[in-house]
Amino acid sequence: MKRIPSRWIAAASALVALAPILTTLHAARRPRYGGEVRVEMRAALRTLDPTSPAADSLGLIPAVFETLVRFDEHGDPQPGLATSWTHDAARKCWIFAARPNVVLHNGAPWSPRGGVIEVPDDRPLPKILRDLARPSSAIVVRAEDGSLVGTGPFRIARWEAEKSARLAAHDAYWAGRPFVDAIEIRMGRPLRDQELDLESGKTDVAEILVMDGRRLRQKGLAISATPPLETLALVFENSRVPDATKEALALSIDRATINNVLLQKQGEPSAALLPRWLSGYSFLFPAARNLARAKQLAVSSQPLAFAYDRQDEILRPIGDRIAVNASEAGITLRTASGAADVRLVRLPITSRDSSTALEDLAAMLKLASPASAPFETEQALLNGYRVIPIVHLPQMWAITGAVRNWPRLADVWLDAVAPGDKP
C-alpha cells in the first residue's frame, strides 16, 4: 500500500478544520432574507404622497412608489416601470411600454391600457425622461378607501403621520422581493436620542451629523454615507449689495478649514453647485481663499445682515466661521433673524441627473436656468456671486453591524447577527 505523504494528510486535515469557518464567512457576505430593520429619523413626515414635497431623507417614497424611468448613479436613464420608449410618427407623443407582471401593493395587476403609456410631449427626450424620473411623476393608484397604492419593493403597512410607519416587503415585487421583511420607522427623533437608541439597541439605523462621523467611528459604530447630496451655499437676497462685496466675501471663505475642522473632513469643499461625483467638473470653479484680494475688494464695504438657522447644527458653526473669515477680510456680517442681505442655506441635490439637479437648484434659488450644457448652466448661475457654494455634504447614518447595503432600501438586508443586536 502506497503511503500517503504526510503533508497531504496535514493539508486535508487543515481543510476539514477550516471548512466550517470558510462556509460561515461565505454565508455572511451573501444576502439573506428576513428580519426587520428599525430606523429612526429626525424629520416628521405627514404623508408619503409623491406629489407632496417632503423631507424624505431616507428615500421612502422611491421605495413605495416607482417611476417609469430612473437615473442610475452615473446619471444615465434606466428603465423603471417602463421597459422601453419610442415616439410616434409625428414626434409629438412618446409611447412608453409598460413593464409586464407588475403587481400593485393591493395585489391587483398594474396593466395600463394597451400595455403602453402615452406621454404627449414634443420636448427633447432627455427633458421628458428627467421629468418622468422625478418622484412626483411616480405611478400612484388611489384605492377605494383613498389610500395611495404603489408598485415599489415596499408597501405601507402602517402610517401614523409624523410619528411612525411600517413598510412591509412587497412579496410580488416585479424585481424580486426585498431581503428584509419590514422597515420600522420612528419619526421626529432628535439626533441625540437616535444615537442613544442606537447604542442601547433600540434602533438599527440612526441619522448623524457629518461632523460626528469620525467621533462615532472612534466609538466603534458603523457609518454609512451617501455621496454628497447637499450643497451649503451663501445666497445674496439683497440685490443692492455691490458685486465687489460679494466677490470679497466669496474670496474670504476658508473652505478647507471649514471642511477639515468643522466637518471633520466629511464634506467636499467646493465653489461649484454640483458635487464632483455628479458633474465631474467642480474642480474648475476655484475654491481657494484669497484674503489679500478679498481685503482689496472689501474696502468701504457696508455691514451685511447675515442669516442662517442657528438651530441647525451644521449651519451654525459654518455660519459663525464664515463671519469670522469675512471679518478678517474687512466685511462685517451681522447676524440677523429675519430679512437678510445674505443667507447661508442648505440646497438638496434632487436628482442624479446633473441637468435636473441644476434646474431644481436654479428653481430653489429663483434664478433663471439657461438651457445649455450643465457646466455652462452652472457657470451662468454662479456668475456675479449671487450664490457662493461652500461645501457639499453627504448624508450619514450610524448603523448596527448587521445592516447591509444601507441606505439602498430595496437592497438592504440583515446579516446573521440578530436584528437589534448591538454592534
Partner 1 sequence: MTFRTKLLFISSLTVAGAVALVTGAVAISARRAFERIDQTRREALLDQFRRELDARGQELARQIEQVASSPAIEQIISGTAEYDRAQTEAQSQSLDFLDVVQPDLTIISSAHWPARFGYKNDWNISPEDWKATNSFLARIPLPEGNAVALVCVRFAPGGKALVAGGKKLSPELLKSLGIAPGMRALLWLAPSELIDAQGPVANPEKLASLIADVKGSGRQSTATVQWNAQKSSSEAFLAMPLSERRQLMGVLLAGTSLREQIGLERAILWIGILVGGSGIVIGVLVGWWTTERVTHPVERLAAGARAVAAGDWSTRVEVLSHDEIGELAQAFNQMTEHLIEQRDRAIQAERVAAWRELARRLAHELKNPLFPLQITIENLQRARARSESEFDEVFRESTATLIAELSNLKTIVGRFSDFAKMPPPRFETVDLNQLVRGVMKLHEASLLAEGRPAISLSLELAAGDPRIAADSDQLRRALGNLVLNAMDAMPDGGILRVATEKIENGVRVSVADTGQGLTPEECERLFTPYYTTKHYGTGLGLAIVQSVVSDHHGKISVESEPGRGATFMIELPLTQGDNI
Residues found near partner 1 in the complex (CB under 8 A): 215, 257, 261-262, 317, 320-321, 323-324, 328, 335
Q: Among residues 125, 350, 352, which one has the least CA distance to residue 362?
A: 350
**321 or 386, CB closer to partner 1?**
321
As measured in angstroms, the least distance from the Cβ of 97 to partner 1 is 55
**341 or 360, CB closer to partner 1?**
341
- Residue 30 vs residues 171, 177, 204: alpha-carbon distances, Å: 20, 16, 19
**92 or 334, CB closer to partner 1?**
334
As measured in angstroms, the least distance from the Cβ of 77 to partner 1 is 43
**96 or 308, CB closer to partner 1?**
308
**199 or 313, CB closer to partner 1?**
313
- Cell numbers at residue 109, please? 395587476
As measured in angstroms, the least distance from the Cβ of 392 to partner 1 is 20
**97 or 344, CB closer to partner 1?**
344
Q: Which residues pair with 225 in a beta bridge?
A: 396
As measured in angstroms, the least distance from the Cβ of 293 to partner 1 is 19
Query: What phi, psi does 126 have (nearest 5°)?
Result: -55, -40
DSSP 376-415: HHHHHHHGGGSEEEEEEE--EEEE-TTEESTT-TTT-EE-
- Cell numbers at residue 263, please? 466637518
Report CA Rg, the chain: 26
As measured in angstroms, the least distance from the Cβ of 328 to partner 1 is 7
**149 or 333, CB closer to partner 1?**
333
As measured in angstroms, the least distance from the Cβ of 335 to partner 1 is 7
Please answer whether residues 365 and 139 qualify as being in contact, where contact means their C-beta atoms are separated by less than 8 angstroms: no
**131 or 320, CB closer to partner 1?**
320
As measured in angstroms, the least distance from the Cβ of 142 to partner 1 is 49
DSSP 213-269: HHHHHHTT-EEEEPSP-EEEEEEE--TTS-HHHHHHHHHH--HHHIIIIISTT-SEE
Residue 21 CB partners (closer than 8 Å, separation 6+):
none
- Cell numbers at residue 421, please? 443586536
> Taking CA 362 as the corner, what is the angle to CA 285 and CA 231, rounded to the nearest 5 degrees?
55
Residue 36 CB partners (closer than 8 Å, separation 6+):
180, 181, 182, 183, 184, 419
**9 or 324, CB closer to partner 1?**
324
Please answer whether residues 331 and 300 qualify as being in contact, where contact means their C-beta atoms are separated by less than 8 angstroms: no
As measured in angstroms, the least distance from the Cβ of 326 to partner 1 is 11
As measured in angstroms, the least distance from the Cβ of 325 to partner 1 is 9
**321 or 352, CB closer to partner 1?**
321
As measured in angstroms, the least distance from the Cβ of 320 to partner 1 is 3
Please answer whether residues 191 and 207 qualify as being in contact, where contact means their C-beta atoms are separated by less than 8 angstroms: yes
Please answer whether residues 381 and 358 qualify as being in contact, where contact means their C-beta atoms are separated by less than 8 angstroms: yes
